[in-house]
Amino acid sequence: QVQLVESGGGLVQAGGSLRLSCAASRSISRINVMGWYRQAPGKQRELVAVSIKGGSTNYADSVKGRFTISRDNAENTVYLQMNSLKPEDTAVYYCNAQLVLIATKYDYWGQGTQVTVSS
């Protein structure tokens, strides 16, 4: 079982920055994939960024060059640094952990943190 707690959301003006944190209840070095998703009003939940065990990362095209996902293994925390924020980034951001044990996949989600970007 992996419990995830997001923090760091809030209200920011366009062009500003926020850093989201996701604290995990177990060592993230043992978790196959840590990721950030978001869901805007009237839209489906979408992938923002993922950090894969071993060191690789992937980003949605809409955030490339602006957002950075990183891990602090000592603190069991994943971060999403968001720069040059745009109003279209407004959404609830969810932390996700994907754990694969043998042939069974486990998916865990945080409760989300609201990010609002004003124009």
The predicted-structure confidence for 87-102, as pLDDT tens digits, reads as follows: 999 999 999 999 988 8
Give the burial string for 27-65 (b: 16+ CB within 10 Å, else e): ebeebebbbbbbeeeeeeeeebbbbebeeeeebeeebee
List pLDDT tens digits, range 4-27: 999 999 999 999 999 999 999 988
Sign of the dihedral through C-alpha 72, 91, 33, 107 = positive
List pLDDT tens digits, range 43-59: 999 999 999 988 899 99
Structure tokens at 3: 């419990």
| DSSP 8-class letter at 71 | E
CB 12 within 8 A of CB 85: yes
d(CA 69, CA 80): 5
What is the model's pLDDT at position 65?
98
Q: ∠ CA 91-92-94 to the nearest 5 degrees?
A: 130
